[in-house]
Structure 1
Amino acid sequence: MPIVYALVARGKTVLAEFTNTSVTGNFPTVTRVLLSKIPPTDSRMSYIYDNFIFHYITSSTITYLCMSDDTSSHRVPFAFLSKVQETWNQEYGTQGLTAIAFSMNDAFSPLLKGLMDRYNNDPGAIDSVSKVKDQIEGVKSVMVENIEKVLERGEKIELLVDKTDRLNQQAFKFEKQSKRLKNVMWWKKVKMYLMFTFLAAVIIFAISAMACGGIDFHGCKSDKRRLM
C-alpha cells in the first residue's frame, strides 16, 4: 500500500485528514511535529522516517501532506498531492486561510479517500493526464532528507505503524480455521476406523469363540488333538 495517510493543513492547524483503514499507528502525532517544522513558504519536500516517507507540498501557506511506504516512488505521492491541491482549491478556494481546525474534515476526508484509492490502485492513471505529467517533472528536484534533520537537538519522536490489513487477517483466520477443521475431521476418521477395526475384531473373536465352545477355544483344541 503506497499511500496510507494524508492531510491538508494551514501551518500546524489540520483542516482535513484521512487514514487508510489498513494501517494504524501514531503517525498523526508525528505529522503534527513535522508540520511545526515546515516553513510557510512555497516548497515541496520528502522526509524519510524508518520505512516510511512523508511528502508535502506547501502553497499559499496551505500544506498538503501524505505518508507512503518506502517501496513507492516519489512520482505517485507527489502526483497525488498535486491532485489533492487542485481539488482543495476547486472546493474551497481561499477558505482554508481562515478556517478552524477540522472544519473541512467531514466534507474533504471522503475526497482524500477517493483520491488515495485511485492513486494506490491505479498509479498508471496519472500518466494519462498531461498537466500532472508536467507537475511531476518538478519532483525530480525535490529534496529528500532524514526527518531527524528538522528536529531540535534532543527532540525525539517515534513512529509506530501497525499494518493490520483486514483482508489478510480474515484470510489468515479462515486458513487457520480450515486447518483446524481438517485436523478435527482427520481425527474423527481415524477414530472411526479404529472403532470399526475393534468391533470387527470383537465380532470375529465372538464368532470364533462360539464355534470353538467358549472363550478358551476348548472345542477347537479338542478337535486339533483328535486330528493329531
Structure 2
Amino acid sequence: MDLSSFSRFTRDNYGEFMTLFCKTVAERTRPGQRQDIEEKSYTFHVYGRSEGIAGVIISDADYPALVAHQLLSKIVDEFLVKHPRTSFIGKEIGGPLDFPELKEYIVKYQDPTQADSIMKIQKELDETKIVLHKTIESVLERGEKIDSLVAKSDGLSAQSKMFYGQAKKQNSCCVVM
C-alpha cells in the first residue's frame, strides 16, 4: 500500500484503517460481485472471486471505476495463475504472498488515460474536437455566423438550405406547457 502522500506521523494509522476497511469490505463481497464504496474522498473498488479471494483498489473519488475494475480483474487473474487456490485455501499463510507485478501495475495505472485504450481514444477525440472548434471559429470572421453564411451562399441548393433550417429547429430547445 503506497501511503507516501500521508504525513509520516499518521501514515501507520491510515494504513491500519485502510487494511481493516479492505478486509471488512472483501469479506462482505459475494463471489462474482463488483462494488464501489465511497468513503470521504476515497473510493474502494472491490471484486470478489469464486476462488475465495477478493481484490480491493483504493483510489481518489475522481479515478474512473471502469479502469479500476479492469485493473482488479487483471491483477486477480494473474495472482491466481501465480498462486492457485490450493496454495492458500485451508493453509496457514505466514505472511503476504509474493506478487511483484503489483508495483508495476500501480505505476502504470496512475494515469488512467494511458492505461485504458478506450479512455486514451476518448481523450484524443476530445482534443481533436477542441482543435476543430478552434479552426472553425478562426475560419469564420469576427461576428459572422453560420446562419448569415448559409443565407448568403450561392453554392448551396435550396434543398440544403431547407435541411439546415430544419436541423436548426430540431436542435433548438423545446418548451412544454
Contact 1:55-1:65 within 8 A present in 2 as well: yes
Look up the match of 1:124: 114
Contact 1:52-1:67 within 8 A present in 2 as well: yes
- The alignment yields a C-alpha RMSD, in angstroms, of 2.3
Percent of aligned pairs with the same residue? Answer: 17
d(CA) in 2 for partners of 1:117, 1:102: 27
Structure 1 stretches (4+) deviating beyond 4 angstroms?
A: none
Q: 1:62 to 1:36 in 2, by over 3 A?
A: closer
TM-score normalized by structure 1? 0.42
Task: Structure 1: state its 5+ residue gaps.
Answer: 1-17, 129-228
d(CA) in 1 for partners of 2:38, 2:47: 15
CA deviation profile, 1:174-228 (whole Å, cap 9, x unmatched): xxxxxxxxxxxxxxxxxxxxxxxxxxxxxxxxxxxxxxxxxxxxxxxxxxxxxxx
d(CA) in 1 for partners of 2:78, 2:3: 19
d(CA) in 2 for partners of 1:48, 1:102: 32
The structure 2 residue matched to 1:79, chosen from 70, 73, 87, is 70
Structure showing greater relative contact order (alpha-carbon pairs closer than 8 Å, 6 or more residues apart): 1
Look up the match of 1:34: 25
Contact 1:62-1:96 within 8 A present in 2 as well: no
The Cα shift of 1:124 comes to 2.3
The question of 1:96 aligning with 2:79 is answered no
Look up the match of 1:222: none
SS in 1 for 2:116: helix
Task: Supply the AA of the counterpart residue of 1:98.
Answer: G
SS in 2 for 1:19: coil
The question of 1:68 aligning with 2:51 is answered no
Aligned residues: 108
d(CA) in 2 for partners of 1:58, 1:21: 27
The question of 1:54 aligning with 2:44 is answered yes
d(CA) in 2 for partners of 1:55, 1:45: 6
The Cα shift of 1:28 comes to 1.4
The structure where strand makes up a greater share of residues is 1
The Cα shift of 1:123 comes to 4.1
Task: Structure 2: state its 5+ residue gaps.
Answer: 119-177
